[in-house]
Each structure stands twice: as C-alpha cells, then as structure tokens.
Structure 1
Amino acid sequence: MSQLTLNSQVADIVTGLPQSADLFRKMRIDYCCGGKISLLEAAEGQNLNPEEVLEKVKVIEQKRESKGSVEPTNFGNKTLVAYIQEKYHDGLREEFPLIAPYITKVAKVHGGNHPHLLRVQEIFKMLRAELLDHTSDEDENVFPLILEFLSNPTDALKEQVQPHIDELESEHDNAGKLFYELREITNDYTPPVDACGTYRIVYARLEELEKDTFAHVHLENNVLFDRVRAAL
C-alpha cells in the first residue's frame, strides 16, 4: 500500500491492506458498507484519535507478510466470484444451522437473567433469513449477470445490472446494522465472568460470523461492485 494518510478512504485501506479489517472491526469503524469515507472522518465518528488510528494501520502495514502473498482483491472477475461463493456463501450455509441450536439453548436457559440474549436470538434469526436469501439471489441471478456484463458491458446489460447492485448494497447495509447492534448489546462479544461454555461458544461464533460477513461484504461492495461501476 502506498502513501497512507488520514485522507485515505477506509474501504481503499482494507482493499490494499486486508489485515487492517480486524483493527477497524474492533474499533467499530465500518469498512464495508460505509467505508467510502476518509480515515479521519471514520475515526472522529467513533471519537477516536485519528493519528493514533493511522499509526496502528501503519504498524499493520509494516508487519504484513511480504510480496508473494495472494490477495483476493487481485483475482480476476470469475475467480473473485468463485472465491466469494466458496468461502463466504458456502460458509454461511454451513455455519447457520450449526450455531442455531446453541443460540436457542442460551436464550432459553439464560434469557431470564440476561434479557439481551432474547434480542440476540431475534437478530440471529433475521440475519439467517436475510443472508441466506441474499446469497442465493447472488448465486442464481446477480453474479452470472455481473460476469456477463463485465465481459460484455452493453447498454442493455447496464440497465439490468445497476438496480441489482443498488439492492444488494442496501441489503448489505441492513446486515451491517444488525451486526453492529449485536456487538453493542453483547459488549463486544464479551461473555459474563460466570458464563457457561455454551454461552461462550455463542459469543465466539457470532464474532467470527461478523468477521467473515464484513470481509465478505467488503469484497463485494468495494471490489466486485466497484469493477461493475467502473464499467457502467
């Protein structure tokens, strides 16, 4: 990455330096749906010292494994789409059924003393329904259209693809809001000191789900969809 400054866009930083995503996620800086703002604006929006945030990003840049590392942002269009589908879409379909029983159990057993867990359960159900429908639509309809458009950007295809991009980004934004609420009500996924093993599993798995979803959305919003916008 070159010339990191406070004016660098958050989305561009993560595209060039994917390892910075974990830092931004912990700082509650949105790098996927709302990432097209400067690092300065993003840091100030979270009441953080912009210079300190920039310095932490630069430390990550310095530690990044050198030259031969392969980043998905450098993949060709077909490879990028296949990567998103295999890593993230298939991952969601596998993870949601696995984590659901744990969330149901924790809400049932501990919801009386920890009522926020009932809201955790509600949010999880919304995310499950929305993201599975969303990824199915992408796989069956939108991604084939995007690949066709990128290989042959005709006016007719342009008119077809633009509404899909707008709709998908709106759905991404809604999922992001649900995850931010989850992080807020779980105190950054920090279980109580006396939490049982299942309680801890739920928080750990939800945090991992958040991490993967933000990385997933970033690749779509700020890499794949940007390629579409450049061809419009």
Structure 2
Amino acid sequence: MSSLTIDTRVSDIVTALPQSADLFRSLRIDYCCGGKIPLKDAAEQRNLNPLEVLNSIHSIEEKRENRLSMEASSFGEKTLIAYIQEKYHESLREELPMLAPYITKVARVHGENHPHLLRVQEIFKALREELLNHTFDEDQNVFPLILEFLNNPTAEVKEQLKTHVSELEAEHDNAGRLLYELREITDNFTPPEGACGTYRLVYARLEQLEKDTFEHVHLENNVLFERVAKAL
C-alpha cells in the first residue's frame, strides 16, 4: 500500500517518486519553491480534485513497482526481448526528452556558480543521443536478427550477429564511462546544501537513469547476448 496521501507534501512526493514531477509540471503545480505544502492544498489551489491527482500519482508508482517486480533473467528469449523493449527502451524514449528541459534549466540558472553542471549537460546530451540511437538499432535490426537466428541459425545470420553484438557491447562500455563520469562530478548525485527542488530533481532522476541503464545493460550483455554467444 502506498504511503503517499493527499496530506503528503508535494516536494516529498517528488523526492519519493521523481517521475511525478512530470505530472505536477503538466498540472502547473509548483513542486520546487512552493512544494512544501500538502498535495490537497496544492491541488485545490489549481482547482483540481486532490483525489484524482493522487490516483494519477499512484498509477505512476504502481507502474514503477510492476517493472521492478519481474525476474527477467528467467524469461525465454522472445519474452526477454519484449521485456527489455517495454521496460527500458520505451522508458528511455519517455524519460530522456522529459528530463532534458530540467537539466537545461539547472545548467542555465546555476552553471555560473556550479560550473560542473555545464559538463553534466554535455554528458547528458551525449548519453541521450547514444542511448536513443542504440535502442533504435536494437529494435529495428539486432533483436529481429537474434530471433531469426534462434529460429533458423544460418551461417549468414550468425556472421551478421557477431558483428552487431560486438558493436553493441562497445556502445554499452561507452555509456558506462559517461555514467561513471556523471557520478564522479556530481559527488555521487549529492546536491549541494540549499539546492532548489529542480536541482535535486535532476540529480535524483540522473541517478535513476544510471540504475536503469546498468540493469538494462546487464540483461543484454550477461543474459541475452550470453545466450546468443552460446548458440553462435
């Protein structure tokens, strides 16, 4: 049962569930400077039904918990690929464009006094481009090829797969290096004392992005690609 209620402060909801910031932003509920008030009050100030807003928050929470509850390594290849696409690929296509404006804002507002934020912005831009291109390539080319090979392991498809898997693993390594630098320059995603709500939100969501990406890479490198390698 969720601990989030209409009496929970808006800022505390975003801390516990960073993706709720997108909902608050769309509803024009201030979760940053004006976020230290109960959800009930914040919703009523916008002439919204607090229970309806809370239900939307619980839906976001439930979606996240459902994604975390599945043991993907036990899935068959077809199910595993579908799971990776739904949990990680679709999530990246949703999260990366939504997170970008927050990072741009924090770099613009605080970059002069915290110059590392300009590098955070650069890393995020590179990471966003790499991850979106990478997942597109997997969805359009590599995953269909894997399924084709497992159904009909011809020599031609085998050679194509070897090249693709090698390239993907190199891309995984590069994404890992970018995430490592991100963690280093943000002091383990620890916002400075007195940081505003948007600053804290950016760090929380970057840390979640790191976690999800490492899980994503693990399932591909150590589960899916390992199975493919044994069949090659």
| TM-score, with length taken from structure 1 | 0.70
**Gap change, CA 1:70 and 1:185, over 3 Å in 2:** closer
Residue equivalent to 1:213: 213
Q: Number of aligned residue pairs: give it.
A: 164
Which has the greater radius of gyration?
2
Displacement of 1:160 in angstroms is 1.1
Displacement of 1:168 in angstroms is 0.3
- Displaced runs of 4+ in structure 1, greater than 2 A? none
Displacement of 1:152 in angstroms is 1.9
Residue equivalent to 1:168: 168
Q: 2:179 matched to 1:179?
A: yes
Q: One-letter code of the match for 2:145?
A: L
**Gap change, CA 1:198 and 1:162, over 3 Å in 2:** same
After superposition, the CA RMSD in angstroms is 0.9
Residue equivalent to 2:112: 112
Q: One-letter code of the match for 1:175?
A: A
**Gap change, CA 1:118 and 1:144, over 3 Å in 2:** same
- Distance across 1 between alignment mates of 2:150 and 2:168: 17
Cα displacement string for residues 125-146 of structure 1 (whole angstroms, at most 9, x for unaligned residues): 0011111011001000110001
Residue equivalent to 1:198: 198
Displacement of 1:222 in angstroms is 0.4
Cα displacement string for residues 66-88 of structure 1 (whole angstroms, at most 9, x for unaligned residues): xxx85100100100000000000
- Distance across 1 between alignment mates of 2:226 and 2:154: 17
**Structure possessing the higher relative contact order (Cα contacts under 8 Å, 6 or more residues apart):** 1
Displacement of 1:150 in angstroms is 1.6
Residue equivalent to 1:133: 133
SS at the partner of 1:131? helix
- Distance across 2 between alignment mates of 1:139 and 1:95: 18
Residue equivalent to 2:223: 223
| TM-score, with length taken from structure 2 | 0.70
